[in-house]
Chain A
Amino acid sequence: MDLLLAIAIMALGAVVLGAALGYASVKFKVEGDPIVEKIDAILPQTQCGQCGYPGCKPYAEAIAKGEADINQCPPGGDEGVRKLADLLGKEYKPLSAEHGQEKPKAVAVIREELCIGCTLCIQACPVDAIVGAAKQMHTVVASLCTGCELCVKPCPVECIDMVPIPETLETWKWKYPVFEIKPAESRKVA
């Protein structure tokens, strides 16, 4: 009798709670997944597809669903992986080798004397950073180029090079003070 009573009470509880939860899940249904947006914000938006997904957003969705790992984005680099690990509460892991290595930032440059005007690179460019028309010379708008390298392979005459961005006065950064030259303020008058 006791046993049946216990089962009955537990079943009652389960039914009540289950009903409440079921009702709530219908009543309080939310659309969209804010975590995808957060992941997408960390990704570098090069849209290069090196992760194996056609763009940063699909990769973000894949991470959110747990289909993709967080270490598949070479342009985001080590820091990107760390940020993703931080956001998702996962363990940090080094960039996976199969998806490529972190490279210095580069832009695509078309050797204009070789360009035949085939527009293949224009279609390959995910961010519309190449201008030109059929049978006209094309050129890369350097300030918009994300360095994704997607235009390099389609070029039938191999006239696109990836040129690393040189350091200029605008992009120069103060270095972390370890083994650096010592500027004046650290050698003050006694």
Chain B
Amino acid sequence: MAEYLFLLIGAVLVNNVVLVKILGLCPFMGVSKKLETAYGMGAATTFVLTLATGASFVIDHYLLMPFGLEYLRTLSFIVTIAAIVQLTEMVIAKTSPMLQQVLGIYLPLITTNCAVLGVPLINISHAHGFVASLLFGAGSAIGFSLVLVLFAGIRERVEGAEVPLPFKGTAIAMITAGLMSLAFMGFAGLDRY
């Protein structure tokens, strides 16, 4: 049990997918201009990433491994993830226009989110079981959402600050991200017991 807990904490804080593994930087920089969109993106990614880790585990273990086709992992994962994202989007668009409004254009973006592909691959390289895979996926997604929301909050504030002209826009955002990454280094070692 404790093992799972540490896995989760490790995924959220210590080995944060964005700030430590430096995965999924495109949405991290792209949709962090506003807090509301960050919430939307965080929620969408959490949902898709958890689903994707589960699906990719199943595909890997019951389709690819028995036939010795491990070299097709990346390819098949990408296809699966893209399909899941599309499916999710359609279902949401139909069932909950409200949520669709919030998530809007962010759902399709997740298709090309390297974090969503990266986490299932990490799962496999760490030889996680099904539950561990799901937990790791969910933890990574929560970690992603957490830093995205924190970062969006900071950026919203920075927007109002008098940033020197050369640093305006993406430059100051990069510096902020770097500082956040440094701050998250402080969690190192929290997942060892």
> Could you list which residues of chain A lie within 8 angstroms of chain B, going by C-beta atoms?
2, 5-6, 9-10, 13-14, 17, 20-21, 24-25, 27-30, 34-35, 86, 89
Contact B72 A24 (CB under 8 A): no
- Whether B67 is near chain A, meaning CB under 8 Å from some CB there, is yes
Which residues on the B side are within 8 Å of A89 (C-beta)? Answer: 30-31, 105
Contact A17 B80 (CB under 8 A): yes
* Dominant secondary structure of chain B at its interface with chain A: helix
CB distance from B107 to the nearest CB of A (A): 13
Contact A24 B76 (CB under 8 A): no
List 19 contacting pairs A-B, 8 Å CB cutoff, sorted by A.
A6-B67, A6-B69, A9-B67, A9-B72, A10-B79, A13-B63, A17-B79, A20-B83, A21-B90, A24-B87, A24-B91, A25-B90, A28-B90, A28-B91, A30-B93, A30-B94, A86-B34, A89-B31, A89-B105
Which residues on the B side are within 8 Å of A17 (C-beta)? Answer: 79-80, 83
CB distance from A190 to the nearest CB of B (A): 28
Contact B97 A34 (CB under 8 A): yes
- Whether B101 is near chain A, meaning CB under 8 Å from some CB there, is yes
Point out the residue from A2, A13, A20, A30 that lies within 8 Å of B87, measured CB to CB. A20
| Binary per-residue interface labels of chain B (79-104) against chain A in the complex, 1 for a CB within 8 Å, 0 otherwise | 11001001100110111010011001
Point out the residue from B31, B76, B90, B93 that lies within 8 Å of A10, measured CB to CB. B76
In the assembled complex, the Cα of A30 lies from the Cα of B68 at a distance in Å of 41
> Could you list which residues of chain B lie within 8 angstroms of chain A, going by C-beta atoms?
30-31, 33-34, 59, 63-64, 67-69, 72, 75-76, 79-80, 83, 86-87, 90-91, 93-95, 97, 100-101, 104-105
Top 5 A-B pairs, shortest CB-CB distance: A28-B94, A17-B83, A28-B90, A24-B90, A30-B93
Which residues on the A side are within 8 Å of B79 (C-beta)? Answer: 10, 13-14, 17
> Are A34 and B101 also in contact (CB < 8 A) when A17-B80, A20-B87, A28-B90 are?
yes
Closest residue of chain B to A28 (Cβ to Cβ) is B94
CB distance from A69 to the nearest CB of B (A): 18
Which residues on the A side are within 8 Å of B104 (C-beta)? Answer: 35
Closest residue of chain A to B95 (Cβ to Cβ) is A28
CB distance from B85 to the nearest CB of A (A): 10
In the assembled complex, the Cα of A126 lies from the Cα of B69 at a distance in Å of 65
Which residues on the B side are within 8 Å of A6 (C-beta)? Answer: 67, 69, 72
Closest residue of chain A to B76 (Cβ to Cβ) is A13
Closest residue of chain A to B66 (Cβ to Cβ) is A9
Which residues on the A side are within 8 Å of B30 (C-beta)? Answer: 89
CB distance from A177 to the nearest CB of B (A): 14
In the assembled complex, the Cα of A6 lies from the Cα of B90 at a distance in Å of 30
CB distance from A60 to the nearest CB of B (A): 16
**Most chain A beta-carbon contacts within 10 A, residue among B64, B67, B86, B90:** B90
In the assembled complex, the Cα of A97 lies from the Cα of B42 at a distance in Å of 39
Point out the residue from B80, B100, B101 that lies within 8 Å of A13, measured CB to CB. B80
Extra A-B contacts (14), CB below 8 Å, given A13-B76, A20-B87, A27-B94? A6-B69, A6-B72, A10-B75, A13-B63, A17-B83, A21-B87, A24-B87, A24-B90, A25-B90, A28-B95, A29-B94, A30-B93, A34-B100, A86-B34
